[in-house]
């Protein structure tokens, strides 16, 4: 099956599991920003969890079906239109050739993931399809033949859409930022999020370049607080305040301009416990989807 993108008002790209193992060459890991929504979207079509999908943020995307097919749409979007008929959100549905699919702006959250049967077919660069731009005129093809499937909905939205403080393992002392409320600014993308709020009065430069990873909380030249995304830098010399725990990284992906966010301290042991709980919750959600797929056919 194939879809032609008619318009994109926002940011859209192909994403999969990313490029682990290439950071020593200065290549960010990349991959789906919200890994939970990515895996759930693929699960609804019964394809491998790390298969390529379309990751879309910020606005509206319209596509035309060039053949009969089906998709799964999971994440922030609560309304997908097929020829004007609302299918809802977090849903799998089929359509006919010639249909127009419209992914509408979310009311909460930021990113939506669109999965196709067998995953999105795309050439790989450094063992990944991540980063391929999706824009008006792009044709998106499935890697497997589309089947006629019943409508299937998630029992509940992804946990990444739940608002709560971000747990952080701090590096050094608390300089007034931990526990303070920040607002997500308009200057955000997959590289990072710039936050508006208290500016810690500490030395901005660390004195040496050192590795950086997805989730690092760092200061800019003017002491603004930023949080690195999956396409963020691999090294840098600005002051790092801490790192968001892995269990909370998916929620970073769903922070939209104007959202309020607060950081709370977390120890390494607590971070490991949180990650185990997160993996258990995601495993249960994926198993639930797999059972629903089996029942629905």
Distance CA 119, CA 115 (A): 6
pLDDT at site 207: 67
Chain segment 264-278, per-residue pLDDT in tens: 999 999 999 999 999
CB contact set of 295 (below 8 Å; sequence gap of 6+):
none
pTM of the model: 0.94
Give the per-residue pLDDT at 45.
Answer: 95
Contact 30, 110 (CB under 8 A): no
Which phi-psi region, left, alpha or beta, contains residue 250 (left: φ > 0; alpha: ψ -120 to 50)? alpha
Mark the ranges of the chain whose per-residue pLDDT is less than 50: none
Task: Tell me the helices (H) and strands (E) count for the chain, helix number first.
Answer: 3, 19
User: What per-residue confidence (pLDDT) applies to 172?
Assistant: 78
Half-sphere exposure of 71 (CA within 13 A, CB side): 36
Per-residue pLDDT at 208: 79
Alpha-carbon distance of 250 to 281, in angstroms, equals 13
Q: How far apart are alpha carbons 204 and 217 in whole angstroms?
A: 13
Alpha-carbon distance of 217 to 261, in angstroms, equals 13
Return d(Cα 98, Cα 270) in angstroms, integer.
51
State residue 225's pLDDT score: 94
């Amino acid at each position: 099956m194939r879809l032609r993108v008619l318009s994109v008002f926002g940011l859209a790209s192909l994403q999969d599991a990313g490029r682990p193992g290439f950071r020593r060459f200065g290549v960010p890991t990349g991959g789906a920003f919200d890994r939970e929504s990515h895996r759930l979207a693929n699960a609804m079509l019964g394809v491998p969890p790390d298969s390529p999908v379309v990751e879309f943020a910020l606005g509206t995307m319209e596509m035309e079906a060039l053949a009969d097919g089906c998709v799964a749409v999971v994440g922030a979007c609560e309304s997908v239109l097929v020829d004007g008929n609302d299918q809802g959100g977090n849903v799998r549905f089929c359509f006919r050739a010639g249909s127009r699919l419209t992914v509408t702006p979310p009311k909460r959250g930021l990113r939506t993931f669109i999965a196709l049967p067998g995953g999105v077919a795309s050439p790989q660069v450094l063992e990944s399809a991540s980063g391929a731009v999706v824009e008006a005129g792009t044709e998106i093809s499935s890697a497997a033949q589309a089947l006629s499937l019943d409508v299937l909905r998630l029992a509940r939205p992804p946990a990444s859409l739940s608002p709560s403080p971000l747990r952080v393992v701090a590096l050094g002392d608390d300089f007034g930022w931990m526990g303070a409320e920040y607002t997500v600014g308009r200057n955000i993308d997959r590289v990072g999020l710039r936050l508006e709020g208290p500016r810690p009065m500490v030395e901005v430069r660390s004195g040496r370049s050192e590795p950086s990873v997805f989730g690092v909380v760092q200061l800019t030249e003017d002491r603004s607080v930023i949080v690195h995304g999956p396409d963020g830098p691999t090294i840098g010399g600005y002051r790092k305040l801490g790192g968001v725990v892995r269990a909370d990284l998916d929620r970073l992906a769903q922070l939209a301009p104007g959202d309020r966010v607060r950081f709370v301290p977390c120890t390494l042991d607590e971070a490991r416990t949180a990650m185990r709980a997160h993996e258990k919750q995601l495993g249960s959600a994926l198993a639930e989807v797999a059972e629903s797929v089996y029942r629905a056919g």
